[in-house]
Structure 1
Amino acid sequence: MAAVDPGRRDFALGRFGLPMLAAVFHGSGWRYEGTLRENIERVAHADAGLVPGSQAAVLLEDVQRLLHSALSDDAVTALWRAASGRWNDDDEFDADGRTWLGRIAEVSRARLKNVDPVYVPHVSPARTQTAEAVLREVRQSAPELTDRTEHTGAPALRSAVPALEECVTHVDPDLGFRLLLQILCTCDVTISEARRARFESIGERLGYSDDHIDDRLPDSPW
């Protein structure tokens, strides 16, 4: 039987881990899908065609990287709220990003214990070889996110770029890149063909499936 691998990146449905959960909590639709725990379970249990526990393992890895990182609590909260589009929400459940990540970790561990009682959660090595390329893309996105911030006044977006830079340089470029893609998607940022090609090149180096970038970001007309 194949083993659960928290370092797996070739998910055929594109996004995975924390960015996938951020997409679930975007907008108000999640409230009709169940409780906070049930919505986390939607991602942690989404293993159709995969080794049971695969989604929970990568989600837990993302969470552990941020929980145990040197990033400030404000930066962790900003990353989550920017990625999920919860820029000015009054809900308190994720106002403290690290406490919220702890709840996600609890659900993920319960899923893993249920499907593979002998599995010991661990964090795979950071993919530092892509750090420079990812950091360039984060910095190139700064004007677009700054412009969106001016329209929304959202503190989470205002802090998104420096938090992403910290994530790339001090946590994991892979996680930083996936959060960048999710934030650009949440902000409806259009990208040129050249930029999409760069994103796809980074994704290939990180081991993503061919469709990870597809259908995520709208194309620019130029």
Structure 2
Amino acid sequence: MKVYQEHRRLGSDIGLSGLMRTFHFVRTNRMSIALASVGAFADREDGAFAHQLLEDAKRLLASDLSGPELATLWHGGTSRDFDLEARGIEGRQWITWIEEIAEYRITWNVGDAPIPPDPPPARGLTEAVLGEIASVAPALEVATAGRPYAAVPGVVPALRRVVAEVDPDLGFRLLLRVLKAYFLRVDPALVAAYHALAERLGMEEELVDDGNFNVGPDLG
């Protein structure tokens, strides 16, 4: 019988942010392949990856974030490598499909106990994550809204809403994923700060390093 922390410590990015990393054009450019990719991610480690994925999806769907805002988060975390708008998929529908696939995978492990959600994070962590978003917000807006063929306006406001209204943990993971997806230059001191905040949030060190940070001095 697994405990909750085992589904948090898997040696890599987890949940929705981890799923985003697996989407790469042209490998996942068809709907059937995209859904299979969600299933394959949920199946990792005998279904262990399905638990955080399900928790992230449930929290987003229970929130007041709109379909377009959820699509914005998805596009930001994948640099539009699987473009929901181009396929006529509404953001809430896409997250609902992810929820259903993760939930179905968990039912395979009949002996697993239900996984209780984490207690609500301390308000201080919410403010800490919002502070990290603020520190990169101008550059992040330019990078996400201005890239040809992968422009995603409104990423920063959507991230702030996730942190403030849904879950600072998920918001922080999505922030890291967008920074990596758009290869935004990150100062080494900022990476160190991300590691420190990840520790406070109960994340593994490997989660921060899962993916490619564009690490270098701040060029202004």
Normalised by the length of structure 2, the TM-score is 0.86
Relative distance call for 1:134 and 1:113 in structure 2 (3 A) is same
Name the CA distance, whole Å, in 1 between partners of 2:6 and 2:60.
Answer: 15
| Aligned amino acid, residue 43 of structure 1 | F
Match of 1:137 in 2: 132
| Aligned amino acid, residue 2 of structure 2 | A
**Aligned pair 1:200/2:198, yes or no?**
no
Greater fraction helix: 2
Contact 1:63 1:104 in 2 (8 A): yes
The match for 2:65 among 58, 61, 71 is 71
Shift of 1:143: 1.2
Shift of 1:157: 2.7
Shift of 1:88: 8.9
Shift of 1:155: 9.0
Match of 1:45 in 2: 43
CA RMSD of aligned residues (A): 2.6
Shift of 1:132: 1.0
Match of 1:170 in 2: 165
Name the CA distance, whole Å, in 1 between partners of 2:56 and 2:44.
Answer: 16
**Aligned pair 1:157/2:152, yes or no?**
yes
Match of 2:213 in 1: 217
**Aligned pair 1:30/2:53, yes or no?**
no
**Residue 20 of structure 1 aligns to a residue in which SS?**
helix
CA deviation digits over 1:77-127, x for unaligned, max 9? 11111111117945326x311100111111111111111266446533232
Contact 2:14 2:49 in 1 (8 A): yes
Contact 2:20 2:77 in 1 (8 A): yes
**Aligned pair 1:184/2:179, yes or no?**
yes
- Unaligned regions of 5+ residues in structure 2, if any? none
Relative distance call for 1:87 and 1:39 in structure 2 (3 A) is closer
Contact 1:69 1:171 in 2 (8 A): yes
Shift of 1:28: 1.8
The match for 2:141 among 139, 146, 149 is 146
Name the CA distance, whole Å, in 1 between partners of 2:109 and 2:173.
Answer: 27
Contact 1:65 1:123 in 2 (8 A): no
| Aligned amino acid, residue 118 of structure 2 | S
Normalised by the length of structure 1, the TM-score is 0.85
Identity %: 31
**Residue 35 of structure 1 aligns to a residue in which SS?**
helix
Contact 2:23 2:78 in 1 (8 A): yes
Relative distance call for 1:114 and 1:63 in structure 2 (3 A) is same
Contact 2:66 2:92 in 1 (8 A): no
Relative distance call for 1:154 and 1:82 in structure 2 (3 A) is farther
Relative distance call for 1:6 and 1:209 in structure 2 (3 A) is closer
Give the 5 Å matches for 1:11-30.
11-12=10-11, 14-30=12-28
CA deviation digits over 1:165-205, x for unaligned, max 9? 01000000000000000000000012112101110001111
**Aligned pair 1:9/2:5, yes or no?**
no
Name the CA distance, whole Å, in 2 between partners of 1:164 and 1:153.
Answer: 21
Shift of 1:30: 2.4
**Residue 126 of structure 1 aligns to a residue in which SS?**
coil
